[in-house]
Structure formats: C-alpha cells, structure tokens
C-alpha cells in the first residue's frame, strides 16, 4: 500500500494557507482556491508544510487521506504555476474563437457551440490549437472534456476535437471491389 498520504505537502514561496475546521483556502500569485475537508481526515499546518492524517483507522479514512493530500498538492501547484490543457481542432471549416470569457466552436453543426468559461479561467486560440488555463485542475479537465465532447474525433477522417497529446488510430474505410 502506498505511503504518500503520510508525507507533508510543501508550501511554496508566496503561497498563503488558511485552515478552518472544515475548509482549506490557498492563495497565491495565480489566484485562490478553497476545498471542503472530510470528517474522516485531519489537516494540520506544520513547519514542513501541510500534514494530512487519519482521525481513525477505517478504510474510508485511509482512502481519503491520500486523496485529500493529492487535492491539496494540486491546489498548491495551481496557485503558483497554474494548470493548462491543449486541444487541437481538425476538420473542414472547423474553428474556434474566444468571445469574452467564453469560447465559440464552429464544428459543422447548424449553430456554433458556446462553452462558458469558469472563474479564473482563460482561453487562448492560436491557429487550430485551443489552450485552457486555470489554477483549478478539476475545472481545466472538465472544460477541456466539454470542448472535446462537442465533436469527438472521427476515426475515419481524423476530423474533430482531440487533446494535443492524444493519438487517434485511423481506420481504413471501404475498399473498392476486386472486379473478379
């Protein structure tokens, strides 16, 4: 069984952490994030950083210890460096453009698909590459999945929206008859 949940989460320079009874708030140069804490886990601030410990030795408590530590570590990374996800738009007439806090996608439907941005989220479009940035990792992943889900990649033509690091295995399609 992994023991990463017992290690303290290091607090980077310029990050301020505030602990309440059931809430943790992290503020940094890229923004601020907060998360509710569960009853099974206790969070303390020490000289080494943020320490996540079990209140009791039950299975849910052990599971939440590592999960909550990972969430806190992602919050620290988000407020200092931020999270980003890139997607690629391929297809005839397919394009994306930023309109205020939202992104408008023209993907071959009779109407444009508009996906709303969240708080502290920014979109950037260069040629056919969409970049989603935010301090919250969950928001970045969710909005990137919504953008990809607007027109999933076609395995025959390769058109659609895919993650920049995603590999689409192409299928051959129909072959002409042998004429025998």
What is the set of domains in the chain, with CATH numbers?
4-80 (3.90.930.12), 83-163 (3.90.930.12)
For residue 16, what pLDDT is reported? 94
Question: Are the C-beta atoms of 55 and 63 separated by less than 8 Å?
Answer: no
pLDDT of residue 4 exceeding 80, the answer is no
pLDDT of residue 178 exceeding 70, the answer is no
For residue 60, what pLDDT is reported? 84
Plot region of 108 (φ>0 → left; ψ -120 to 50 → alpha; else → beta): left
> What mean pLDDT, rounded, does the chain reach?
91
pTM of the predicted structure, to 2 decimals: 0.88
For residue 1, what pLDDT is reported? 44
Reported confidence tier of residue 102, pLDDT bands at 50, 70, 90: very high
| Range from 42-51, 70-79, 116-125, 167-176 carrying the lowest mean pLDDT | 167-176
Contacts of 112 (CB under 8 A, 6+ apart): 104, 105, 106
Rounded CA separation 135/144 (Å): 14
In 3D, which of 133, 17, 21 has the Cα closest to residue 75?
Answer: 17
Instruction: At 49, list the tokens.
Output: 């950083």
């Amino acid at each position: 069984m992994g023991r990463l949940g017992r290690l303290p989460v290091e607090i980077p320079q310029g990050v301020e952490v505030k602990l309440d009874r059931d809430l943790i708030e992290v503020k940094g140069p890229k923004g601020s994030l907060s998360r509710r804490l569960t009853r099974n886990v206790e969070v303390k601030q020490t000289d080494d950083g943020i320490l996540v410990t079990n209140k009791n030795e039950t299975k849910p408590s052990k599971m939440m210890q590592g999960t909550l530590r990972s969430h806190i570590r992602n919050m620290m990374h988000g407020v200092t460096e931020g999270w980003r996800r890139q997607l690629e738009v391929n297809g005839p007439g397919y394009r994306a453009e930023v309109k205020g806090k939202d992104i408008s996608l023209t993907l071959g439907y009779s109407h444009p698909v508009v996906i709303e941005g969240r708080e502290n989220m920014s979109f950037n479009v260069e040629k056919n590459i969409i970049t989603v940035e935010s301090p919250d990792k969950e928001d970045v992943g969710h909005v990137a999945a919504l953008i990809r889900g607007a027109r999933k990649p076609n395995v025959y033509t390769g058109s659609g929206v895919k993650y920049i690091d995603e590999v689409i295995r192409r299928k051959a399609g129909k072959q002409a008859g042998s004429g025998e």
